[in-house]
Amino acid sequence: CKALTRAMAPPTSCRRPSRCLSLAAVMAVAVVMVMLSLHPQQGVAVRVVNDTTLPRLNIAAGMLTTSGVSGGGAAATQFHVSYSESIGGCGIIAGPPYYCAQANIDIALNQCMKDPALISVEELINFAKYAADTLNSVDSVNNLKDDRVWIFTGEKDTVVHPGVVDKTFSFYKHWIKDPASVLIGSYPAEHAWVTDNFGNNCTYLGSPYINNCGFDAAGSMLQHLYNYSLANRSTEAAAGTFIQFEQLHYTPPGTLPPEMSLGNMGYLYVPPNCADGQTPCKLHVVFHGCNQDLESVGDDFVMHSGLTAWADTNDIVVLYPQAKKSDEIPYNPQGCFDWWGYSGVDYACKFGLQMQTFANMVKAVAGFV
C-alpha cells in the first residue's frame, strides 16, 4: 500500500513508533471465569466467558463474511478487499468506499464524509487493482466477482452523506458480475446501526449509535450475504456463549494493541451448535463504528446489534474486534478502526497492523483466511 499513498502519506512524526516489545512480557496468566450477566435487552441471563485466547472451531470454507458501520464499514470493506480469496460477502452501513481517505485525514473528514462529488470511484478502483496486481498487498480483485455485498444508508444521516455510500455501491458494482448480488437500500434514519427492537429513536444522533427504526438491518444483511438461505431468527434469549478474549495474542510480532489503537479485549459469540467444533459453522466478522468501542458504549453494540438472534438459528459464529480511543500517537480520539492511516500507511491492505490482527483472529477460529 505504500506506493498508493505517495505524497498523501502523513508526516513521519505522526506515524506509529516502533517499540518491539515482547508479547511474552505482558501476557497475563490464563484464567477462565464463567459469569452470568443480565442482558438489558432481553432481561435474561447471558453466558459470558472470560478467556485469554480464541477457540478453534469448525468454520466451513466459503462461509466467511464481514460487516461494519461508519468507520467500521470502511474497515469491513478494507478487510474484504484485502482477503477476498476467503471472504465471500460484506455488509456496509454508512461506510465510504475502499481506500477513500488515501491515508489523508483531511480527505477522510471531507470527501469521504461530506462531499461525495469529490470522490473518484475510478481512482479507487485503480488503487485496488494496483494493490492486487503490482504490490500483491491485497488478494486478487477477480475474487470479488462472485461475492455478495449489502449496503445501507440513512436518508437523514448528518455524519456520512448518503452520496458517499452511493460511491461505495459504485465501487462494488464495478467488480461484481451479478447486479443482484450488490444490494443498496436506505431508510429515514440518522447515523447509526439500525435495529427493530433496541436503541434510540430512528432520527436521533448520539450514543450508542444504535437506533430502533423498526427495521432489522442485521437480518436483512445476513440473509443477503448468505443468499437468502437462513432460517428465521430466534425469538428467545441468546442460547450461546460470549467469549471475551485478549486481542494482544493476535497482533503482529513485536506490537501491542495500544500501538494500533485496539482495545485489550474482543468478543466472540459462539452459538450452541458450534461450541463442540464438530458442526460446520459460518463466521461473521463485524466492526463497530466510531464511539461504539467498549469504553464508550459498554457492550451495547456486542449485545444489541441483532446478530445474535440470527446466529443462534443459523450456526453463525460472530467475531467482534474492538478499537480503543487514543489521545496520543496513534491519534484516534473517537475509537475508530483505522480507515485513514493513523496506524501506518499500509492500513488498508494485508500489510496493515490492524488487518493482520483481524486475519490472525480469523485464522485462530477458522484455520484459514
List residues with catalytic annotation. 70, 157, 191
Four-residue CA torsion sign, 83, 85, 90, 95: positive
Q: What stretch of H or E contains 70?
A: none
**Spatial CA neighbour of 181 closest among 264, 284, 89, 272:** 89
Residue pointed to by grid coordinates 459469569: 35
Query: Cα separation of 199 and 220, whole Å?
Result: 18
Rounded to the nearest 10°, the torsion over CA 306, 309, 315, 318 is: 30
Provide the β-strand partners of residue 245.
Answer: 266
- % helix / strand / coil in the chain, to the nearest 5? 35, 20, 45
Q: How far is CA 132 from the centre of its chain?
A: 21
